[in-house]
Structure 1
Amino acid sequence: MFFVRTASERDLEKVRALLSETWHATYDTFYGVEKVNELTGRWHSLPALKAQVVRKNAEFLVADDGRQIGGMGFAAMSDTQAKTAVLHQLYVLPKFQRQGIGRDIFAELETCFPDAERMRVEVEPQNLHALAFYRTHGFNEVGSTASHGDEPGLPAIILEKMLLG
């Protein structure tokens, strides 16, 4: 059984491996192995993950069963949009998907931002499993972008969920 807890620096190597495996399983068919290697090398490096762990107005969670990290989530208050929390990452290792780990991480993240009125997430349009997950959890499409994160040419659907105060 996995328990959701706050991540620490000692978790980051396992989180980096989880993100690499999950990203290849999810995005290789969309972007190709080389592009996924480039993005995970930049976005999921140990320094990038460490910056997330120590970021103010943010929450970095892992699902841990005592032996391994099965999932992770990271969200932070928006620097540009008032009363908005942004869900930057929510990933579960493929072998543990559809067991409620993503749901449990998300449920915890939803409660971490008492000043937020809404939560936003950007999802690759071809990632039908992620789109279905977020829609099931109350998100609605509010827009789109041609530049997911800091990466031009990576389209994303912008979803938003109103949070209960």
Structure 2
Amino acid sequence: MFVRTASERDLEAVRQLLVETWHDTYDAIYGSDRVASINTEWHSLSALRARIDMPQSEFLLADDGETIAGVAFATAADDGKTVKLHQLYVHPAHQGRGIGGLLLDELEGCFPDADKVRLEVEEANMRAVRFYVGQGFSKVGETGNCGKEGSGIKAAIFERPILWAE
């Protein structure tokens, strides 16, 4: 598995990965209809396309040459001092193989002025919470609008320092 930057030609495969992963992860939490609605809005081709050239961002894929197994998207915040991780998803068939950690490490390296990584995670998503805690993250707060303003989705805010910044 190698990590590379996403391009226009990847968007349909990325969308498929996100739709499948979201249903696998969140159907039991939010219900299939709500997940389908979120997928339609957040993971549309136009929403994904907008990330490709977004300033101060990185849109990365874990790829083995045949299959895109994971996706990560982050932006710089706080004048570049914080990496805001918006998405880190690994297809269920590829979870537990170190792909999430690989994507996370690569993202950190893309923001050389940052000293911490911040993310929002649904606390009922225990696989993700265990992953982030295992990666050295700690809960620092909560939000009532995970993902975007007005979403109404509650989530925990987690942070960890970037190791070279310590």
Q: Provide the TM-score with structure 2 as the length reference.
A: 0.94
Deviations 1:73-107 (A, max 9, x none): 111112xx341110000001101100111111111
Partner SS, residue 73 of structure 2: strand
Out of 129, 132, 147, the residue aligned to residue 130 of structure 2 is: 132
Task: Give the structure 1 partner of residue 99 of structure 2.
Answer: 101
Q: CA deviation at 1:18?
A: 0.1
Unaligned stretches of 5+ in structure 1?
A: none
The letter of the residue matching 2:91 is L
Partner SS, residue 117 of structure 2: strand
Alpha-carbon distance in 2 for matches of 1:138, 1:112 = 19
The letter of the residue matching 1:148 is C
Q: CA deviation at 1:152?
A: 3.3
Task: Give the structure 1 partner of residue 74 of structure 2.
Answer: 75
Alpha-carbon distance in 2 for matches of 1:132, 1:113 = 25
Unaligned stretches of 5+ in structure 2?
A: none
Out of 84, 88, 104, the residue aligned to residue 86 of structure 1 is: 84
Task: Give the structure 1 partner of residue 144 of structure 2.
Answer: 146
Q: CA deviation at 1:58?
A: 0.6
Q: CA deviation at 1:147?
A: 1.1
Partner SS, residue 121 of structure 1: strand
| Identity %, equivalent residues | 51
Task: Give the structure 1 partner of residue 48 of structure 2.
Answer: 49
Task: Give the structure 2 partner of residue 117 of structure 1.
Answer: 115
The letter of the residue matching 1:94 is P
Deviations 1:13-41 (A, max 9, x none): 00000000000000001101111011111
Alpha-carbon distance in 1 for matches of 2:94, 2:157 = 26
- Bigger strand fraction: 1
Alpha-carbon distance in 2 for matches of 1:57, 1:120 = 15
Q: CA deviation at 1:43?
A: 0.5
Alpha-carbon distance in 2 for matches of 1:116, 1:26 = 30
1:11 aligns with 2:15: no
Q: CA deviation at 1:156?
A: 0.4
Name the Cα RMSD after superposition.
1.0
How many residues align structurally?
162
Alpha-carbon distance in 2 for matches of 1:41, 1:72 = 17
Alpha-carbon distance in 1 for matches of 2:140, 2:84 = 14
